[in-house]
């Protein structure tokens, strides 16, 4: 376990930072440097969890999935029916490119002769879109499981080192400094693993529920869109 610590201590940049940085950084540096190789893996897990959270936040913004302008236009189908021309709305949705506009464009395409056919096709398309929006959330779920296990691995390794120090003590007794170091490694890895897992659980729960809420809203708007379109526009079955 000392190899990772020695590597950090041998780095000129980190050594210089240790001399000039405030005490808070020194504490963090000592905490991470004494955790061994397992601590490095936990740090990588924390970076992956942060990246996954940022990705989920960027993708699950309401204005990205269902912009207000698109919602307003889809609810204006009766107005387009008065004018007798749905093409301007179709052009608007094709230019927008959001998830709701893609679903809405399919719903008012006139490619389906009944509401039932349209609902079925839009449901399949919506599931594909929702699956794409889940990017990042499965990684958070993995971090929730992996980070505590890595912490447990570090704890076990620290305990093994501690008992090895007891066995290598000889007649002079065990080296208390080595034992204290190994206990510190065990506790630090446990703390770090939980420190990554707990925020990952919170982020995973938040983004999962947010995705569910957005999916329900999109479904409601799509049902309204399909209802209005087939109520005000007649779709004819193409000739065989």
Quick check: pTM over 0.85?
no
What does the pLDDT look like over 29-57, one tens digit per residue?
Answer: 676 777 678 888 988 999 999 999 999 99
- 115-121: Cβ within 8 A, 24+ apart: 115/226, 115/227, 115/230, 118/226, 118/229, 118/230, 119/223, 119/226
Q: What is the pLDDT of residue 29?
A: 66
Stretch 189-207: mean pLDDT? 92
With a cut of 80, say whether residue 176 has pLDDT above it.
no
| C-alpha R_g of the chain | 29
Q: What is the pLDDT of residue 93?
A: 92
What does the pLDDT look like over 8-30, one tens digit per residue?
Answer: 444 443 444 445 445 666 776 67
Region label for 170, one of left (φ > 0), alpha (ψ between -120 and 50) or beta (otherwise): left
With a cut of 80, say whether residue 230 has pLDDT above it.
yes
Q: What is the pLDDT of residue 136?
A: 84
Alpha carbons 200 and 206: distance in angstroms, whole number: 10
Alpha carbons 144 and 72: distance in angstroms, whole number: 39
Residue 107: φ, ψ to 5°: -65, -35
Q: What is the pLDDT of residue 17?
A: 45
Which residue has tokens 């296990």? Answer: 149
Among 205, 193, 195, 95, which residue's Cα sits nearest to residue 152? Answer: 193
Beta strands in the chain (DSSP E): none
Q: What is the pLDDT of residue 11?
A: 44
Map 112-150 to HEC letters: CCCHHHHHHHHHHHHHHHHHHHCCCHHHHHHHHHHHHHH
């Amino acid at each position: 376990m000392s190899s990772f610590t020695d590597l950090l201590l041998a780095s000129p940049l980190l050594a210089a930072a240790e001399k000039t940085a405030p005490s808070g950084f020194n504490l963090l540096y000592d905490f991470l440097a004494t955790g061994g190789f397992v601590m490095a893996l936990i740090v990588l897990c924390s970076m992956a969890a942060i990246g996954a959270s940022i990705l989920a936040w960027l993708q699950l913004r309401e204005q990205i999935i269902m912009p207000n302008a698109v919602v307003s236009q889809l609810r204006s189908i009766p107005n387009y029916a008065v004018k007798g021309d749905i093409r301007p709305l179709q052009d608007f949705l094709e230019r927008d490119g959001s998830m709701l506009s893609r679903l809405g464009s399919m719903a008012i395409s006139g490619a389906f002769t009944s509401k039932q056919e349209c609902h079925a096709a839009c449901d399949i398309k919506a599931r594909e879109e929702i699956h794409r929006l889940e990017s990042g959330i499965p990684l958070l779920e993995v971090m929730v499981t992996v980070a505590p296990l890595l912490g447990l691995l570090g704890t076990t390794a620290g305990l093994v080192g501690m008992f090895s120090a007891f066995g290598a003590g000889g007649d002079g007794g065990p080296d208390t400094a080595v034992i204290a170091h190994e206990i510190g490694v065990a506790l630090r890895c446990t703390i770090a693993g939980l420190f990554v897992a707990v925020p990952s659980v919170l982020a995973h729960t938040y983004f999962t529920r947010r995705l569910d809420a957005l999916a329900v809203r999109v479904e409601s708007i799509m049902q309204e869109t399909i209802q209005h379109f087939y109520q005000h526009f007649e779709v004819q079955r193409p000739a065989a």
